[in-house]
Amino acid sequence: GQQLNQSPQSMFIQEGEDVSMNCTSSSIFNTWLWYKQDPGEGPVLLIALYKAGELTSNGRLTAQFGITRKDSFLNISASIPSDVGIYFCACNNQGGKLIFGQGTELSVKP
Partner 1 sequence: DTEVTQTPKHLVMGMTNKKSLKCEQHMGHRAMYWYKQKAKKPPELMFVYSYEKLSINESVPSRFSPECPNSSLLNLHLHALQPEDSALYLCASSQLTKDRQAQYFGPGTRLTVT
> Given candidates 19, 64, 103, 106, which one binds partner 1 under the rule CB under 8 A?
103
Of 82, 83, 70, whose CA–CA distance to 19 is shortest?
A: 83
Interface pattern 18-37 for partner 1 (x via CB under 8 A): ------------xx-x-x--
Are the CB atoms for 104 and 6 separated by under 8 Å? yes
Residue (23 or 108) nearer to partner 1, CB: 23
Distances (CA, A) of 32 to 29, 74, 80, 87: 7, 11, 25, 13
Interface with partner 1: number of residues (CB under 8 A): 25
Residue (77 or 92) nearer to partner 1, CB: 92
In degrees rounded to 5, what are phi and psi of residue 15?
A: -55, 135
> Binders of partner 1 among 32-71, rule CB under 8 A?
33, 35, 40-45, 48, 50
Q: Which residues contact 27 (CB under 8 A, 6 or more apart)?
A: 2, 70, 93
105 in contact with partner 1 (CB under 8 A): yes
Q: One-letter amino acid identity for 108?
A: V
85 in contact with partner 1 (CB under 8 A): no
Residues that bind partner 1 (CB under 8 A): 30-31, 33, 35, 40-45, 48, 50, 86, 88, 90, 92, 95-98, 100-103, 105
